[in-house]
């Protein structure tokens, strides 16, 4: 009987081992299935991310092309409004030349050219271009270009005596410096420094 109990104990132990193996196989099958599901999810997510990357890259390329075209058009046609404003000035100059050919009409031509100049300066001012004040002002190397010096008693040394060519600013940025003549100490004052102190 003991042998029978032993055999039954072995059989039940074998049976438990077999059940444990079956459970392991079942759980390993479930684990494999879970891993495959997770892998499929990860692949789908990767494919979705890759597709999104391709779309964003294409959108960015289109954006760069659009910006390049807009920049090109801005450079090419950016002065369109300015040109439209200047065309009447050309018309007025042509009219003035037409009147200049008529004899004895000098005063009319002069007033026509003065009006055209004022119109032209007004257009430039609307676009932010203003002339630089020079004559009588202290010399400013950021706005003035000294062409020569002149001894004079009418202006203090270092001040602008005359303007040879106007300078202009565009929205506070220098477009062209004014070419000027700068006052220097008058020769009489250099020779007699005592007379100034007396």
Q: Which residue, chain included where needed, has tokens 């104990």?
A: 9
Q: Can you give the pLDDT at residue 82?
A: 77
Per-residue confidence band for 67, with pLDDT thresholds at 50, 70 and 90: very high
* Angle between helical axes of 106-126 and 80-100 (0-180°, round to 10): 170
- Determine what percent of the chain is predicted with pLDDT higher than 90: 21
19-28, 125-134, 154-163, range with the lowest pLDDT:
19-28
| Tokens representing residue 171 in the block | 């929205």
- Residue 54 is given by DSSP the state H
**CA-CA distance, 164 to 176, in Å (whole number)?**
13
CA 84 → CA 77, 80, 81, 96, 175, distances in Å?
11, 6, 5, 20, 21
User: How do the domains of the chain map onto residue ranges?
Assistant: 1-76, 79-127, 129-198
Q: Can you give the pLDDT at residue 9?
A: 54
Quick one: which H or E segment has residue 86?
Answer: helix 80-100
The class that CATH gives domain 129-198 is mainly beta
- Determine what percent of the chain is predicted with pLDDT higher than 70: 77
- Residue 100 makes CB contacts below 8 A (sequence gap 6+) with 109
Mean pLDDT along residues 75-86:
77
Q: What is the pLDDT of residues 43-57, one digit of tens each?
A: 999 999 999 999 999
Per-residue confidence band for 196, with pLDDT thresholds at 50, 70 and 90: very low
């Amino acid at each position: 009987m003991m042998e029978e109990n032993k055999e039954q104990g072995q059989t039940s132990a074998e049976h438990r081992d077999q059940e444990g193996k079956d459970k392991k196989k079942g759980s390993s099958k479930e684990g494999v299935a879970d891993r495959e599901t997770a892998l499929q999810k990860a692949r789908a997510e990767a494919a979705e991310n890759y597709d999104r990357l391709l779309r964003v890259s294409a959108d960015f390329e289109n954006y760069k092309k659009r910006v390049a075209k807009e920049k090109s058009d801005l450079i090419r046609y950016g002065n369109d409004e300015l040109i439209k404003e200047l065309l009447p000035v050309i018309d007025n100059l042509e009219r003035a030349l037409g009147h200049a050919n008529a004899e004895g009409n000098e005063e009319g031509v002069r007033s026509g050219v003065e009006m055209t100049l004022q119109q032209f300066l007004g257009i430039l001012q609307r676009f932010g271009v203003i002339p630089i004040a020079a004559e009588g002002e202290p010399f400013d190397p950021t706005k003035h270009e000294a062409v020569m010096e002149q001894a004079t008693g009418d202006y203090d040394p270092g001040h602008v005596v005359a303007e040879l060519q106007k300078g202009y600013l565009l929205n506070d940025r220098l477009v062209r410096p004014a070419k000027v003549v700068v006052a220097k100490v008058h020769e009489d004052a250099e020779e007699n420094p005592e007379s100034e102190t007396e």
